[in-house]
Amino acid sequence: MSCAVRLRTGNSPSSITNIYDKLLETKSLRHGKIVHQHLLKNTSHNSPILLAKLTRLYITCNELDLASRVFRTIPYPQRKNNVVLWNHMIRAYAWKGPFDRAIDLYYEMVESGVTPTNFTYPFVLKACSSLQALQDGKRIHDHARRLGLESDVYICTALVDFYAKCGCLVDARKVFDKMYDTDVVAWNAMISGSSLHGLYGDTMRLIVQMQEAGLSPNSSTVAAILPAIGEGNQLSQGKTVHAYCVRRSFHSDVVVATGLLDMYGKCGCLVYASRVFDIMGVKNEVTWGAMIGAYISCDFVSEALELYNQMLIGNGICSSPVIIGSVLRAWTKLTDLSGGRRVHGYIIKAGFDYSLMMGNTLLSMYAKCGTIEDVVRLFDEMGVKDSVTYNAIISGCAQNGKAKEAIVIFQEMQLSGIKPDLATMVGFLPACSHLAALQHGACAHCFSAVSGFTTETSICNALIDMYSKCGKVDIARLVFDRMQKRDIVSWNAMIFGYGIHGLGKEAILLFHDMQIAGLRPDDVTFICLLYACSHSGLVAEGKKWFVDMNQDFCIVPRMEHYICMVDLLGRAGLLNEARSFIERMPCDPDVCVWSALLSACKIHKNIELAEEVSNKIQCLGPESTGNFVILSHMYSAAGRWDAAANVRIAQRDLGFKKSPGCSWVEINGVVHAFVGGDQSHPHSAEIYRKLEDMLIDMKRLGYRSESSFVFQDVEEEEKESILLYHSEKLAVTFGILSLGSDKPILVTKNLRICVDCHTALKYITIITKRKITVRDASRFHHFRDGICNCGDFW
DNA sequence: ATAGGGTTAG
């Protein structure tokens, strides 16, 4: 059609309007744009009706920006009166987004005096629902009520959907219950809302009620409930739904089938997931994303990456932000930083939107791969942050030994106005556990209680761990006793708590209680139990449980169990038995197994065996520095300085640096750290003076420094001073100076406590009449009135 | 319908 030519021939305005009209009726975007061009040039041809028609055409063609531009040029009275056009504009934005434009248009409509109709509300409410804009939705609900539109079935359904998506399920239910006629769509709104918020029980109850009301779930219902089933790990329920889908022929629907495979993946049933995937006729990007995610959830990470490549190469499907998120999670699970970095580069190069979720995924990858510098840099770059952002960085720090940083960031989070949630606290408490920062931990406990988190099993589990690692095993037990529901982690954490305090009998009692309560011990339970036996010298019990674990509980021992057993036997002085135990192992012992024996050789001063064990460790590649240190200590103790020096030279040549011994003490919520011979603390002078004073009293009571454990060949007096300024002594002394005389002192050390400090602290408890507790890398030492509860071997 | 944060383990 050569309309452009005809338009130039000086027709009268009314005939031109007719031509415009005809062009718009073709519903062709190209024609619309031609009319638009001419209207811009010949403003005299503008008529409100034409402009309205052009707006409609643009809406139909999904050109919302253009539609909106033309809409605004319609003169006021005509625009005001064309309610239908307002509704169309709002509906278009509510469908396609940006959703906030729909809400803005609604407000503009009301403010310019246009009365919304029953068609307006479902659309604007849908926009509120997509944005989870609770306040706006409530206001709009109020408007509809005042207009007497409350019984309109479409509005009610939209309201149910809106409240349910915002998580206000009580309000959703209120609207729902008032409805005269609830159809499948209204039920689906209720059901998908509770499913979206992970309320598995409620979702299933609603399904039953729906069927009792005589309605059958349709494919949308099924698609809505499958994520909740997956998250609730309800495999048998999921299979029932699958069967229902087959009966109703929903299973060939790509949305339902994708939901099914995702559900199987989340339930850990990879075989079923991939079977659904394989027989699917139509697969889209979401299907591939779900399958890749299923592989990752089931720990088949390299298979997931392989599938991703298959998708790109053989199936013509491009990456999407969601799939890239999954790929990042795969590298995270492999703790493969370079893989993660490559994906990060790809995200930048491909120009993917840097959404909050993508940022959080990247942050979590860097955090789990242990590069705190990258985490902090990314964190600072992120413009928008939410609680997940903070949770990722806090737990990332806590899991990578940066507990002090975790505390600082937790404080920053509170200043930023983002409220810590349940996951924040569960991720933060281990940082307190690690530092034995009881005051921070107790504050976190109070905050959790006030926020209503302490009814949750996960938070109580973290609290049990925190209190027992902060030396308060009694409070840990109180938390344990008051829990409404305990899971396997609760019992394991409590048993381990008793173990580190040398309370083996209590650990065994709890192990029995656990079985009476109907819980089946798992592999971790036995690690905790054997550890407890080992640290309380309960050799016979430990041996018995090791056998029972295999025979009665069908748990195949892992390396960790063997390590516990070698530790148990070795600690008790049964060095030969420990060695033959290792020789009988059905699998090859790793370095940690031999290290456990080497530590035992040190306790029982058996240099010959230590040398032999040390050679084995050398052959395996001595992964850690601790083994060199032990052997060198033993040679030193025997006065064999040359041998000790050779070990240290070998250690240096192989590139192993001794990690410095570090001790810390929490005073009024501030953690003070010390290394050996440290003079950097502001109160250093006082601390050293106090220590020297105490040394005089200690000597009077019979203390002799264990100078054989100084590893350089130096004069006695010098040895004494090297020992005197060990980090644990400095931290204890600072505690004595800073805390009231009735207060017990808790010091934490990153390595095992040294023999001399162990002896010295006993004397210090007598001199200062204080209780002193040291948590070293291995366990708790409770010093009281000149004795330690560890029984002097550790 | 697919992506982000959390508890026990020498």
pLDDT, tens only, A662-688: 888 989 888 898 888 878 889 989 999
Average pLDDT value for residue range A642-652: 66
Q: What percent of chain A has pLDDT over 70?
A: 91
Which is more confidently placed, A634 or A19? A19
What single-letter amino acid sits at A674?
F
Residue nearest to nucleotide B6 (CA to C1'): A423
| Distance in Å, residue A524 CA to nucleotide B6 C1' | 19
Q: Where are the alpha helices (DSSP H) in A604-726?
A: 607-620, 626-637, 641-653, 684-700, 716-724
Q: Where are the alpha helices (DSSP H) in A26-118?
A: 29-41, 48-60, 64-73, 76-81, 83-96, 99-111
A389 CB-to-strand B distance under 7 Å: yes
- Residue A731 in tokens: 């931290």
Nucleotide nearest to A265 (CA to C1'): B2
Q: What percent of chain A has pLDDT over 90?
A: 46
- Per-residue confidence band for A167, with pLDDT thresholds at 50, 70 and 90: confident
A322 CB-to-strand B distance under 7 Å: yes
| Distance in Å, residue A521 CA to nucleotide B1 C1' | 37
- Residue A413 in tokens: 């989070």
A290 CB-to-strand B distance under 7 Å: yes
A195 CB-to-strand B distance under 7 Å: no
A262 CB-to-strand B distance under 7 Å: yes
A265 CB-to-strand B distance under 7 Å: no
Which tens digit of pLDDT belongs to each residue from A234-268? 899 999 999 999 999 998 899 999 999 999 999 99
- CA-based nearest residue to A471, from A497, A503, A495: A497
Determine the Cα–Cα distance for residues A734 and A340; give it in Å rounded to an integer. 44
Given this model, what pLDDT does residue A643 score? 67
Given this model, what pLDDT does residue A640 score? 64
Determine the Cα–Cα distance for residues A154 and A176; give it in Å rounded to an integer. 12
| Distance in Å, residue A366 CA to nucleotide B3 C1' | 16
Determine the Cα–Cα distance for residues A786 and A770; give it in Å rounded to an integer. 10
A694 CB-to-strand B distance under 7 Å: no
β-partners of residue A721 are none
| Distance in Å, residue A616 CA to nucleotide B7 C1' | 37
Nucleotide nearest to A324 (CA to C1'): B3
A708 CB-to-strand B distance under 7 Å: no
Given this model, what pLDDT does residue A4 score? 47
Which tens digit of pLDDT belongs to each residue from A146-156? 888 888 888 98
| Distance in Å, residue A430 CA to nucleotide B1 C1' | 36
Model confidence, pTM: 0.78
Average pLDDT value for residue range A527-544: 94
Contact A735, A707 (CB under 8 A): no
A752 CB-to-strand B distance under 7 Å: yes
What single-letter amino acid sits at A512?
H
**Tokens 């034995």, located at residue:** A436
Q: Which residues of A230-265 are buried (b: 16+ CB within 10 A; e: fewer)?
A: bebebbebbbebbeebeeeebbebebbbbbbbbbbb
Determine the Cα–Cα distance for residues A692 and A778; give it in Å rounded to an integer. 28
Cα distances (Å, whole numbers) of residue A394 to A406, A429, A705, A737: 5, 10, 42, 32
A82 CB-to-strand B distance under 7 Å: no
| Distance in Å, residue A452 CA to nucleotide B7 C1' | 17
A612 CB-to-strand B distance under 7 Å: no
Given this model, what pLDDT does residue A626 score? 62
Contact A728, A757 (CB under 8 A): yes
Domains of chain A: 558-658 (1.25.40), 663-788 (no CATH)
A301 CB-to-strand B distance under 7 Å: no
Which is more confidently placed, A220 or A651? A220
Nucleotide nearest to A192 (CA to C1'): B1
| Distance in Å, residue A363 CA to nucleotide B4 C1' | 9
| Distance in Å, residue A693 CA to nucleotide B1 C1' | 72
Nucleotide nearest to A220 (CA to C1'): B1
**Tokens 């399904």, located at residue:** A207
Contact A95, A124 (CB under 8 A): no
CB atoms closer than 10 angstroms to residue A349: 8
- Residue A702 in tokens: 């019979």
Cα distances (Å, whole numbers) of residue A207 to A165, A190, A213, A216, A762: 17, 10, 10, 9, 66
Nucleotide nearest to A223 (CA to C1'): B1
A194 CB-to-strand B distance under 7 Å: no
A427 CB-to-strand B distance under 7 Å: yes
For chain A, the straight-line distance linking the first and the last C-alpha, in angstroms and rounded, comes to 95
A476 CB-to-strand B distance under 7 Å: no
The values of phi and psi at residue A743, to 5°, are -90, 135
Q: Is the pLDDT of residue A2 over 50?
A: no
- CA-based nearest residue to A530, from A586, A568, A571: A568
Nucleotide nearest to A224 (CA to C1'): B1
A182 CB-to-strand B distance under 7 Å: no
Nucleotide nearest to A456 (CA to C1'): B7
Q: State CA A268 to chain mean position distance.
A: 19
A221 CB-to-strand B distance under 7 Å: no
Q: What DSSP character marks residue A749?
A: E
Contact A215, A187 (CB under 8 A): yes
Which tens digit of pLDDT belongs to each residue from A759-792? 899 999 999 999 999 998 888 899 999 998 887 7
The values of phi and psi at residue A748, to 5°, are -115, 140
- Per-residue confidence band for A720, with pLDDT thresholds at 50, 70 and 90: low
Which nucleotides in chain B lie closer than 7 A to a protein CB?
1-10
Cα distances (Å, whole numbers) of residue A592 to A566, A598, A601, A646: 10, 10, 14, 23
Contact A481, A453 (CB under 8 A): no
Q: What DSSP character marks residue A74?
A: S
Cα angle, residue A301 at apex, residues A298 and A307 outer, rounded to 5°: 105
A493 CB-to-strand B distance under 7 Å: yes
Which tens digit of pLDDT belongs to each residue from A75-117? 888 888 888 889 989 999 988 878 888 999 999 999 888 888 8
A627 CB-to-strand B distance under 7 Å: no
A519 CB-to-strand B distance under 7 Å: no
Given this model, what pLDDT does residue A492 score? 96
| Distance in Å, residue A659 CA to nucleotide B6 C1' | 30
| Distance in Å, residue A444 CA to nucleotide B4 C1' | 24
Nucleotide nearest to A355 (CA to C1'): B4
Q: Which positions ≥6 away from A504 have C-beta within 8 Å?
A: A498, A532, A533, A535, A536, A537, A538, A541
Helix (H) or strand (E) holding A784: strand A780-784
Q: State CA A659 to chain mean position distance.
A: 29
Nucleotide nearest to A564 (CA to C1'): B10
Q: Is the pLDDT of residue A293 over 90?
A: yes
- Residue A144 in tokens: 């509809």
**Secondary structure (3-state) at A245:** helix
Determine the Cα–Cα distance for residues A771 and A784; give it in Å rounded to an integer. 5
Chain A residues 130 to 159 whose Cβ lies within 7 Å of strand B are: none
Given this model, what pLDDT does residue A261 score? 94
- Most confident of the ranges A196-200, A425-429, A569-573, A671-675: A425-429
| Distance in Å, residue A261 CA to nucleotide B1 C1' | 9
Which is more confidently placed, A635 or A282? A282
| Distance in Å, residue A255 CA to nucleotide B1 C1' | 5
Helical pair A219-231 and A184-196, crossing angle rounded to 10 deg: 20
- Most confident of the ranges A101-115, A305-319, A527-541, A622-636: A527-541
**Secondary structure (3-state) at A442:** helix
Q: Is the pLDDT of residue A186 over 80?
A: yes
Given this model, what pLDDT does residue A438 score? 92
| Distance in Å, residue A329 CA to nucleotide B9 C1' | 23
| Distance in Å, residue A422 CA to nucleotide B1 C1' | 28
A321 CB-to-strand B distance under 7 Å: yes
Determine the Cα–Cα distance for residues A730 and A737; give it in Å rounded to an integer. 11
A274 CB-to-strand B distance under 7 Å: no
Contact A676, A661 (CB under 8 A): yes
A261 CB-to-strand B distance under 7 Å: no
- Per-residue confidence band for A5, with pLDDT thresholds at 50, 70 and 90: very low
Q: Is the pLDDT of residue A69 over 70?
A: yes
Given this model, what pLDDT does residue A1 score? 43
Weakest-pLDDT range from A382-396, A533-547, A625-639: A625-639
Nucleotide nearest to A490 (CA to C1'): B8
A259 CB-to-strand B distance under 7 Å: yes
The values of phi and psi at residue A63, to 5°, are -100, 75
Helix (H) or strand (E) holding A745: strand A745-749
- Residue A375 in tokens: 């985490």
Determine the Cα–Cα distance for residues A101 and A89; give it in Å rounded to an integer. 9
Q: Is the pLDDT of residue A711 over 70?
A: no
Determine the Cα–Cα distance for residues A311 and A305; give it in Å rounded to an integer. 10
**Tokens 């306790």, located at residue:** A603
Average pLDDT value for residue range A496-509: 94
User: What average pLDDT does the structure give for chain A?
Assistant: 87
Count of residues for chain A? Answer: 794
| Distance in Å, residue A521 CA to nucleotide B9 C1' | 13
Determine the Cα–Cα distance for residues A612 and A597; give it in Å rounded to an integer. 11
